[in-house]
Every structure is written in structure tokens, then in C-alpha cells.
Amino acid sequence: RPLAGDYTSLITGLDEGVAHGVFLHELCFPSQSEEHIILSPSGSIQAISDFMIENYALPEEWGARYPQIFQGYIDELHVFKNPLVKKFSNLRAFKLSITEEEVVSIISVLLQEGELTIPENPNAPQGYFIPGWDMKEYLRNNAESVAAEIEALQPYQNSHDPNRRLLKHIATMGRIPLPAQADAVQAVYNRLMEANYAFINGEMGSGKSIMFDALVNAWYRHKNKGKYTPILITAPASVIPKWVQDELGVDFPHAQIRTIESTEDALKYIREVRTQPKEGLEIILLSMDRAKLGPRWAGSAIWKRITGTRQYAWHCPDCFEVLNDPDLKDEDGNPLPARWEAMALSEKGVKPIHWNPKSKLTKCHHCGSKLWSPATKQKNDYGAVKNRWPISRLFQKYLPKHFEIYGADEIHKQKNESLRGDSFGQLVKSAKKVVGLTGTLTNGMSTAVKELLWHMAPQELLIRGFDHRTGTIRWANTYGAVESRRREVIGSGGRVRRTTRVVERPGISPRLTVEYLLGCTVFLELKDLGFPLVEKREIPVFINMDPQHQAAYTDFHRRLNDFRVRGARGSMVPATINYADNPSAGAEVCVRWRYRSQTEERIITAPRLPGYSAKERKMIEIVQENLAEDRGCVIFTFYTGEYNINSRIKKVLKDHGIGCAVLPSSLSPDQRVSWLEKKAEEGQKVIISNLNLIGEGLDL
């Protein structure tokens, strides 16, 4: 008997009008439903245990008992099988009808009755963590357990062990590392002799670049005995010039240093490697933004008249059948022919066609042919300046395990669910060893480390039961923190609809640090370098508005707050913030809403107040004090577009005889470095910049 609900069809067309396909009920796909269809190709009922562990984050140690514990919620379904398909001869299907609340309730009762006991792990690290702790507080409160783990791992810095002494080549390059940096380099070197990956986690200014250079020099001189040693470095585009000029150029004046800036550069390098003998130290630099950059895509569908009608639609380029519009259906729910707008943004008849990159029409539903291909100049495709392909994919395919060491600067940005993460994983496959450089190894979430480890050392996760199918909630439940959000909606008939959403929260378990980080990470702080540092002071300054400004702002804020219209707060917040900063421009918020099919509109304004605000006067005072002592100033801003804050601050400074320069937002990240260097040569002491422009760091 067919189940009620939606079905998904997967059909492959063959010759002579014959098609093979399968229809799957919606229960076969992940959803919020309380009923789940579980398929077991081997015929083992243990598939139910795997499902419970994956979806409800239950302990694996009780896995063998789950089919018995939840037997009242399990029904075996009848499976119609083709005897000719031997692969599915043992296939069984089960229907599991249970809610998360019922799972929690059953497990809780069994724990209280003693039927289930929480297994003890004698090898589990002993420690605890309170959300809000920083690294110092965590280490201080878990000193004994951390020390025991380090002792078990055998410390790399051991002056009594001849195998652990510092290599002389750590200090035989252009710059000489400080003692703490040299110890860190030796630790990473020894780690790479035993494993394929390591992390250097150092505060900003601790010298991560010089430590990586020293590692490369030791690897080239000691490990490879001066033989050909290719090194790959990826970094944000804004710091590539610094790597070339201030780091590698100083430490390795005789090395071959090369920056890959395009697909053509990458292909040229690949041809050289595969056809020409190379020698010495060769360092390849690549921006992660360029590494992931793929081609523009152009549609290959054909726009023509539907046979026998006057209507036009998109047609498949292979089978020439009419394509269905992904968004339009008739009154009976049948799909309509694909409109022009389904694939194109430009007007009809305009060539070259400006294709819609967000089109949902990706392949032909008749024959399965793909409807998109890389845009090329040969076909005169829109936006095809030059042929382009992801450099990371080229390196993975044509240079597998080519680079001796791959140094990933700012590795914490290489998340898995992004093009950066995919590119990082491809580049890892082109290197024998991987070293991650970062000042913040995690973003506060435990899953950030999981994504990096899955690319760099998947075996570490596999041996602990995690794979590519492991969800973030299961990982966070083990190594981080999760939060369950339950919502109840009472309908008009008294029916209660409950939904539960489990999300990850900031927090990292000590177990994660011990199992995955202590053995492969070097931690370095500025104070470890052993010389006095300039004190960094962060001083919040609270300023009261002038009386007239305060009265106008309070009235403006009150009128906006009283005018409660859904969706209006998005424009209210920046308007009030900027009026508090700069009353000379006044303020205006236009609020629109729908009432009885009519569009209503109201404009709420605040008056212009001449002169300089109290905040601007205080800013001038601070800048003048620093300039009097020959200290430069950087003023960071927000709302530099519509509210044009940069121009206002520049005018205020100019009115008080202070020259300044505004960092243009139109400059690319690498051009910003050159711009700052030019202003420094000109003697410019005051810079104004939107804070977002220095997100990846700029050397001031």
C-alpha cells in the first residue's frame, strides 16, 4: 500500500523511450519528521544503532543494545527486491517512529534504574572547563592533567637527549630566530619527522613567519642535504608582498621565490616541474583568494521556439527537449516551460548573454545533461576575460605530493563549508607535510578544529569514530558545547506542535585540546620571546553629548522607538548611531508599510546642529596630543558608504590644521600595503580607514 506523502523520482532515460528509475518516499530523506526509514544493505539490524548514534548523539558504547531498547518503536518493512541485483540480496528496511523527547526519556529511565551505566574510560583526560575561560585559565586549572599528557608525549625540548638538540641550520639564514622561536622550530621539525602535519599558534608579533622560514631552512639544509626542495606558502593577498620582500627575500636571498597569480602562471610552473630538472630551494607563494578562483559559468541551453507553437523557451543542447522552469507551475502543479529569466539576466536579443549565476536550472530533467560550462573567450561568453581554472585543483591533479612542506598562513580561515576550505583540502594533497600558521587556531567553536583535521589528518578522526558523514552536533556534543532549543506552538484546535533545534555554542572541551592539539601544536606568546614589550593599552572614553544634541537625539530616538513597524529597525539603528556621532548632517528615516493593500509612508527626521560635536572635539584633542609627541594615529570608522563618515572626519581634522589621508575601499588587499608604504614615505601621520579594510591585517 503506498504511503501518503511526497515522493522523489530519480529517472535515467535510455534509447527507444525506455527509462529506469526509482521513486523514494520523503521519509527516506533527512527531515524533521518523527518517522524515519532506515535501509540496511547488509541486512543487519545494527543499522538502527548507527542511525541513533548519528542523529541523537547517543554513546557508541551502548550501540549493541539500541535495537532492543527501542524495539517498540521499530517496524520492519517489506522490501521488493530484484533477484538479479545481487548487491541488494540482503537488503532490509526498518521504520523508526520516535521523537527526541521519547529517546531522552527512555535513556533517562534506564540510567536511573541502573539498566544502563555510563562507561568509564581510564585513558580519558582528567580536566574540566568553564565557558568564558581563556587559555591561561584553562591551563592553570588543569595543570596536572596537561603536564601528565605532555610527559606521555615526550617533550621535544630536552637538552639531555642528543636527538632533541637544536639544529644549527635553524640559525643559518638571513635572520636569526630568538631562543624561544628556535625551540618552537625544533619542536615542529621533530614533529614533522614523525607525522605529516603541525600547527604554529603564536600571538601577533611572535614571529610565525621567521619560525616557518627557519623550519624551511633546516628542512632544506639538514633533511634534504641541499637537494631540490619545493615549498608552497598560501596567505591572504594583502600579506603576499610582505612575505616576498620582508620575510623570504631577507632569509633566502639565493632561493627561487615565485608568486603564482593566475591559471597561466600555475600551468607554466606545472610544465616546468614535469619537463625540466630543478635544484635548490624553490618557494611558491599563492593567495588563497586566487587559489580558489574558478571560471565564470556560461549557460549552454538553447533559446528557441517550441515546436508547433509560437512560444519560446529554453531547450536542452543534447536532447533538444523543452526545459522545465524551476519556479513556475500551472494550476495542476505541472511545470511550465523555462522562461528567459530562468537562466539569463540580460534582455532578450542582447549578446553576449549575461547569464544568471544563481539559476536553479542546472541540468536537463530529460537526459541529465549539464546546462552550464566554463565561460571562454573563444565562445565570446559574457565576462570571459581569460580562461581560468582553480589553481588548487590543478596542483592537486598534476603535482600530487610535490611540495616538501605546505605552509598555510591564517589557517583558521580555511573552513570546510566554503571554497577556501575546498581549496585548502586540494592543496594539502599536493604536499608531503603541512604546517598551519595562525594566531587563533579556533574561532571559539570546536567544529573549527574538526574541519582542519579532516583535511590534514583524517586518520586521526577515523580511528575515533568520526568520518565525512559526522554532523557538527555529534562532534560538538563530544568536544564542545551544544544548546537545545525547544518550541511549542498551540494551534486553534488545541493541538500542540513541538519542534526541537540543537545548535552548537561557543566552547571547547579540554578533551579536544589533549587528544588533538597538544601533540601537534606549538604555542608561543609575546612574553615568551624574553624582551620588554611596549605596553598595549585599550582605553574606552565615554563622552556626554552637548545639551542641545542630547535633547534632539532623545526626541529622535523616542519617535523612532514609538513607531513600531515590522522591518523598520534595520534603518533605525544606523540612523541613531550616526546622529549620535555627527549631528551636523541631521538624520532622516523613511518608514514604509502596507495597510489594506495601500503603501503608507512616514519620514522621521532630526535637526541639523552646526559646529562640532563633543565626540569630535575629544577626537581632535586625542589626535593633537599624540601628534605633539610624534606618534601617528589611525582612526577606524564604520558606515562609510551612505553616511560618508570618512569625509566628515577628514573635514573636522582639516579645520583644525591636521592633515590626513583616507584609505580607499576600492584598493585590492595587496594594493593597500603599497598605499600605506607610500603614505609613510610621504610622512603622513594620520590615517582614516574603515575597520573592515584591515580584517586580514595590515603592517602599520
pLDDT tens-digit map of 630-687: 999 999 998 777 778 888 999 999 999 999 999 988 887 778 888 888 998 999 999 9
pLDDT tens digit sequence for 366-420: 898 888 888 776 666 766 666 678 899 999 999 999 999 999 998 888 765 667 8
**Domains held by the chain: number:** 5
**646: number of CA atoms within 13 Å, CB side?**
19
281 falls within a domain:
yes
Q: Grid coordinates standing for 106?
A: 527512555
Tell me: pLDDT of 30 over 80: no
pLDDT at 17 over 70: no
Residue that terminates a domain, selected from 457, 481, 505: 481
Mean pLDDT for the chain? 84
Closest of 286, 283, 277 to residue 173, by C-alpha:
283
What pLDDT sits at residue 382? 65
Greater pLDDT, 266 or 696: 266
Domain end (from 62, 78, 113) = 113
Half-sphere exposure of 684 (CA within 13 A, CB side): 18
CB atoms within 10 A of CB 163: 8
At 649 the pLDDT is 92
Shared domain check, 382 and 238: no
Confidence class of residue 474 from pLDDT cuts 50, 70 and 90? confident
Q: Are residues 630 and 663 in the same domain?
A: yes
Residues 69-99 pLDDT 10s: 999 999 999 988 888 888 888 889 999 999 8
Q: For residue 124, what pLDDT band results from cuts at 50, 70 and 90?
A: low
Cα–Cα nearest to 401, from 260, 230, 280: 230
Point out the least confidently predicted range of 258-267, 420-429, 455-464, 555-564.
555-564
Is the domain of 193 the same as that of 278? yes
Per-residue model confidence (pLDDT) at position 389: 82
pLDDT per position as a tens digit, 136-187: 777 788 887 777 777 666 554 544 454 557 888 998 899 999 989 999 999 9
Query: How would you class 491 by CB atoms within 10 Å of its CB: exposed for 0-12, middle for 13-18, buried for 19 or more?
Result: exposed
Residues 377, 399, single domain; the answer is: no
How far apart (Å, rounded) are the C-alpha atoms in residues 308 and 243? 65
Q: How far apart are CA 359 and CA 683, in angstroms?
A: 51
- pLDDT value of position 546: 94
Q: Which pLDDT value is given to residue 343?
A: 87
In the predicted model, is pLDDT for residue 618 greater than 90? yes
Per residue in 291-338, pLDDT (tens digit) is 887 777 888 889 999 998 889 999 999 999 999 888 888 877 888 899
150 lies in some domain: no
476 versus 435: the higher-pLDDT residue is 435
In a domain, 650, yes or no: yes
Q: Is the pLDDT of residue 238 over 90?
A: no
Residues 207, 249: one domain?
yes
Q: Specify whether 323 is located in the same domain as 400.
A: no
Residue 108 and residue 204 in one domain: no
Please state which of the ranges 129-143, 229-243, 549-563, 590-604 shows the lowest mean pLDDT: 590-604
Q: Judge if 278 and 313 occupy the same domain.
A: no
Determine, yes or no, domain membership for 488.
Answer: no
For the purposes of burial, counting CB atoms within 10 Å of the CB of 513, is it exposed (0-12), middle (13-18) or buried (19 or more)? buried
Mean pLDDT of 590-604: 72
Is residue 153 one of the residues assigned to a domain?
no
pLDDT for residue 620: 95
Residue 184 sits in a domain whose CATH number is 3.40.50.10810
Domain boundary among 362, 387, 412: 387
Whether pLDDT at 536 is above 60: yes
User: Phi/psi of residue 16, each to 5°?
Assistant: 60, 30
Instruction: With respect to residue 539, please indicate whether it lies within any of the assigned structural domains.
Output: no
- Give the per-residue pLDDT at 357: 79
Among 30-39, 284-293, 351-360, the range scoring the smallest mean pLDDT is 30-39
203 and 283 both lie in a single domain: yes
Average pLDDT over residues 51-71: 88
pLDDT at 160: 45
Torsion of CA 68, 74, 76, 77, to 10 degrees: -170
Query: Are residues 263 and 300 located together in one domain of the fold?
Result: no
Rounded Cα–Cα distance for residues 458 and 486 (Å)? 34
Q: Note whether 414 and 368 are same-domain residues.
A: no
Q: What is the pLDDT of residue 653?
A: 94
267-280 pLDDT tens trace: 999 999 998 888 99
Instruction: Give me the mean pLDDT over the 195-202 stretch.
Output: 93
Written as nine digits, the cell of 449 is 578544529
Question: In this structure, are 269 and 397 located in the same domain?
Answer: yes
Is 565's pLDDT higher than 70? Answer: no
Domain range for 270 is 176-293+391-481
Query: pLDDT at position 162, please?
Result: 46
Position 567 pLDDT exceeds 60: no
Within-domain flag for 524: no
Count CB atoms within 10 A of the CB of residue 281: 23
Residue 55 lies in a domain: yes
